């Protein structure tokens, strides 16, 4: 009896200490400074917004100091509140990186006489780029070691590696800030020395002209970061010639080289329209021609092989897109003829050209299919992937003269794979399946594809994975993830990091909500503009379905989404906070109305056709009805973890920071509300191969602990 009393006393004392620790850690309370924003609303936390000049100033002004103090206080609070999970967090992090093969390499691809591939090595965070001339048995040549570029840098991103046509020069972009403003550098591969040429404030993308001296690149607007100008640059000179300026602020531009390597395409695009210009790469000073003039609701893209242009287009009400062709010299739309007609039940997403084959990437009932067409006789067949939910897509295929299609494949139980498929013999060769260390066995897991009924009767696909032996009794924790915007589909690909929650008894699920393109173009149209709320209600309906089917229960259900998926998280907790135990909002886009009213913020102007233009009352009222920041209420919210990056160029850090401040001021519960601010990263988080998983470990540990799992 005495022993029992002693044990009780010890446990009670420990409980009191834990409670005292939680109570004694007081959250940061952000100062309220009323500020009238663009539409006469009052924003008490507008003061958190800093300009790029303020962030870059070596001597911070008073406002900058206040903002930095607040963000650092949030990080300190997070560290204190989650201190008890540090051991578990390290264990989860070690598990995640422990599954990754440290000495690893990509599958080589052949282009212009060389095999190209990348390698990772033990102890390094970044890749090394290699090539071999003519044969895989040839001597290895180092193109670029990113680890050397990253020395002394808190952040390092390399983009747009491109070798000149004579194989002697390498162009590549570097970003050491995480604002996605790249500086283009040029390396002489014969002498391993940098050229004097440096081009700043670009997207990092380069296309070489045939003379091996001229490059084309994309410049960015300094303030909005819009990719708006195309230049040509001649190496060894100060010559940067503007060849195209996209003056419409709702459009951005990018470059594309045709499969034939004959043409450079300049693509001007926005949500509802496209316009392509082209010139012959062999004539870099030649005339720039419009392929087909822009027209509202006409989206198209172009490629070229032989003497034929191929066009993926939604012309003539082809909402799911069709493939058409036309001959050189006859680009006007009246000359286009069908290759693959429009179909109401199939979304035509992508295509790859070969001399003797055409490969179409088509989405049918939510799943990607690869259709092989022999161009000589139009015989065709589809690849069979053998699983009920998966992710597949066309991979790197630079050589048109081959019969080999390289494609990627994975599923919730099958690691990422690169497969070569002989389109003539129909033989598959797995070139690489990601090696998952730590005793992973795919046969220990099971995946399913279910259908949840939304409130309006729409059937929404749900993909999920769990360990075999799982029992549907409502007692398991479940993490439900989604995105649901821009027509971007959430595919059921392999996620080795998720094994750390699945192996602890979690179900991992994906809600394929409207706003993506899983079920076709209409699926996207039904989740944007004045139908955007369908995205949020679909997610809540999928969550409720999983509860009803006893895959989980509200006290074990967690939700996660990032960027526009973070907007989704903000909306669902305002609508149905009682449905979730915890929510993870990653770099969340939550201040929708204010951002869409401010044309100086990156991405705003060419996203009005995605979210609506709030300068028009109909869209303003609708957006205000779901904008997470504006809809915060005095009520109980679930446990919430928010992440952001100080240098984020897509969702500015102040959006999640203001949201957290307002939630903390208004919520009526004692649940956790913590924010992680990465002071040296942007939208994509840390740049290192392993370092990026520290935030994943934080996210997973947050929900593991809330689920009552301590190991």
Q: Which of 397, 336, 392 is nearest to 368 (CA)?
A: 392
**Neighbouring residues of 335: CB distance < 8 A, sequence distance ≥ 6:** 326, 327
| N-terminal to C-terminal alpha carbon distance within the chain | 31
Q: Are 656 and 585 in contact (CB under 8 A)?
A: yes
What is the C-alpha to C-alpha distance for residues 509 and 480, in angstroms, rounded to an integer? Answer: 5
List strand residue ranges (DSSP E) for 138-262, in order.
Answer: 140-145, 157-163, 169-175, 182-188, 193-208, 214-220, 227-234, 240-245, 252-257
**Neighbouring residues of 484: CB distance < 8 A, sequence distance ≥ 6:** 490, 511, 513, 514, 515, 516, 527, 535, 538, 539, 561, 564, 565, 568
Sheet of 582-586: strand order equals: 445-453, 459-467, 507-511, 478-481, 557-562, 582-586, 639-645, 673-678
Q: Are 498 and 101 in contact (CB under 8 A)?
A: no
Known active-site residue 304? no
What is the C-alpha to C-alpha distance for residues 64 and 68, in angstroms, rounded to an integer? Answer: 6
Q: Which of 564, 443, 468, 477 is nearest to 514 (CA)?
A: 564
The helix (run of H) or strand (run of E) holding residue 492 is: none
Known active-site residue 591? no
Which of 233, 304, 342, 683 is catalytic? The answer is: 683
User: Residue 564, Cα to own-chain centre: how many angstroms?
Assistant: 10
Q: Are 323 and 312 in contact (CB under 8 A)?
A: yes
Inter-CA distances, 327 with 206, 258, 304, 321, 351, Å: 27, 14, 10, 20, 18
Sheet of 227-234: strand order equals: 157-163, 169-175, 182-188, 193-208, 214-220, 227-234, 240-245
Q: Are 466 and 446 in contact (CB under 8 A)?
A: yes
Number of H helices, E strands in the chain: 14, 36
Q: Are 337 and 390 in contact (CB under 8 A)?
A: no
Phi then psi dihedrals of residue 670, to 5 deg: -110, 15
Q: C-alpha dihedral over 63, 64, 65, 67, to 10 degrees?
A: 90
Known active-site residue 342? no
**Neighbouring residues of 610: CB distance < 8 A, sequence distance ≥ 6:** 271, 485, 486, 528, 529
Inter-CA distances, 493 with 102, 413, 496, 624, 692, Å: 21, 8, 10, 34, 19
Q: Which of 233, 280, 231, 238 is nearest to 253 (CA)?
A: 231
Q: Which of 245, 230, 189, 236 is nearest to 211 (CA)?
A: 236
**Neighbouring residues of 11: CB distance < 8 A, sequence distance ≥ 6:** none
Q: Are 528 and 491 in contact (CB under 8 A)?
A: no
Q: Are 513 and 538 in contact (CB under 8 A)?
A: yes
**Which three-class secondary structure state does DSSP give residue 634?**
coil
Q: What is the number of residues in the chain?
A: 711
Phi then psi dihedrals of residue 303, to 5 deg: -135, 175
What is the C-alpha to C-alpha distance for residues 229 and 222, in angstroms, rounded to an integer? Answer: 12
Which of 648, 649, 687, 705 is catalytic? The answer is: 648
Which of 417, 563, 649, 687 is catalytic? The answer is: 563
- What is 265-277 written as a DSSP string? EEEEE-SS-EEEE
Question: Which residues are known to be catalytic?
Answer: 563, 648, 683
């Amino acid at each position: 009896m005495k022993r029992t009393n002693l044990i009780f006393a010890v446990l009670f004392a420990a409980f009191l200490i834990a409670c005292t620790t939680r109570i004694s850690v007081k959250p940061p309370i952000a100062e309220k400074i009323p500020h009238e924003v663009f539409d006469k609303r009052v924003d008490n936390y507008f003061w958190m917004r800093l300009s790029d000049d303020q962030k870059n100033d070596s001597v911070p002004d008073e406002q900058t100091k206040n903002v930095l103090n607040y963000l650092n206080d949030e990080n300190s609070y997070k560290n204190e509140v989650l201190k008890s999970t540090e051991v578990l967090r390290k264990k989860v992090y070690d598990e995640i990186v422990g599954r990754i093969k440290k000495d690893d390499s990509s599958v080589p691809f052949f282009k212009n006489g060389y095999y190209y591939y990348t390698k990772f090595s033990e102890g390094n965070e970044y890749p090394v780029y290699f090539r071999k001339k003519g044969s895989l048995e040839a001597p290895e040549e180092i193109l670029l070691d990113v680890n050397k570029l990253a020395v002394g840098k808190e952040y390092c991103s390399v983009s747009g590696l491109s070798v000149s046509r004579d194989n002697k020069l390498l162009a590549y972009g570097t970003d050491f800030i995480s604002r996605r403003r790249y500086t283009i550098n040029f390396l002489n591969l014969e002498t391993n020395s940098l050229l004097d040429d440096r081009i700043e404030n670009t997207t990092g993308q380069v296309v070489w002209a045939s003379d091996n001296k001229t490059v084309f690149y994309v410049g960015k607007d300094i303030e909005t970061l819009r990719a708006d100008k195309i230049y040509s640059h001649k190496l060894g000179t100060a010559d940067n010639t503007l060849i195209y300026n996209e003056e419409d602020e709702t459009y951005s531009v990018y470059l594309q080289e045709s499969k034939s390597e004959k043409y450079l395409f300049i693509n001007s695009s926005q949500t509802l329209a496209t316009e392509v210009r082209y010139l012959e790469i062999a004539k870099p000073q030649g005339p720039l021609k419009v392929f087909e003039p822009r027209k509202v609701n006409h989206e198209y893209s172009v490629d070229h092989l032989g003497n034929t242009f191929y066009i993926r287009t939604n012309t003539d009400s082809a909402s799911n897109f069709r493939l058409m062709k036309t001959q050189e010299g006859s680009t006007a739309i009246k000359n286009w003829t069908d290759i693959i007609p429009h179909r109401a039940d199939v979304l035509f997403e992508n295509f790859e050209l070969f001399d003797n084959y055409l490969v179409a990437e088509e989405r049918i009932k939510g799943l990607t299919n690869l259709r092989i067409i022999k161009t000589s006789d139009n015989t065709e067949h589809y690849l069979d992937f053998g699983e009920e939910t998966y992710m597949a897509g066309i991979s790197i295929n630079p050589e048109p003269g081959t019969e080999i299609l390289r494609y990627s494949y994975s599923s919730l139980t099958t690691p990422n794979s690169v497969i070569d498929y002989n389109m003539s013999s129909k033989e598959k060769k797995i070139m690489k399946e990601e090696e998952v260390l730590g005793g992973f066995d795919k046969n220990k897991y099971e995946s399913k594809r279910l259908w949840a009924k939304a409130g309006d009767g729409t059937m929404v696909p749900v993909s999920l994975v769990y360990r075999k032996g799982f029992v549907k009794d409502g007692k398991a924790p479940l993490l439900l993830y989604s995105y649901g915007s821009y027509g971007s589909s959430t595919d059921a690909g392999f996620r080795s990091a998720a094994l750390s929650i699945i192996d602890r008894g979690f179900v991992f699920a994906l809600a394929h909500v409207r706003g993506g393109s899983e079920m076709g173009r209409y699926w996207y149209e039904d989740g944007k503009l004045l139908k955007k709320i369908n995205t949020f209600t679909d997610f809540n309906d999928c969550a409720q379905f999983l509860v009803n089917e006893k895959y989980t229960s509200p006290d074990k259900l967690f939700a996660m989404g990032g960027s526009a998926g973070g907007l989704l998280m903000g909306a669902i907790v305002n609508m149905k906070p009682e449905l979730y135990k915890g929510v993870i909002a990653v770099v969340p886009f939550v201040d929708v109305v204010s951002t869409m009213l401010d044309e100086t913020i990156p991405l705003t102007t060419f996203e009005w056709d995605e979210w609506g233009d709030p300068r028009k009352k109909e869209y303003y009222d609708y957006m205000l009805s779901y904008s997470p920041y504006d809809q915060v209420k005095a009520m109980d919210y679930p446990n919430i973890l928010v992440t952001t990056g100080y240098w984020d160029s897509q969702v500015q850090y102040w959006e999640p920071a203001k949201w957290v401040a307002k939630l903390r001021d208004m919520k009526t519960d004692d649940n956790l509300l913590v924010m992680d601010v990465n002071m040296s990263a942007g939208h994509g988080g840390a740049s290192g191969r392993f370092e990026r998983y520290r935030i994943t470990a934080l996210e997973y540990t947050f929900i593991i602990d809330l689920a009552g799992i301590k190991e």
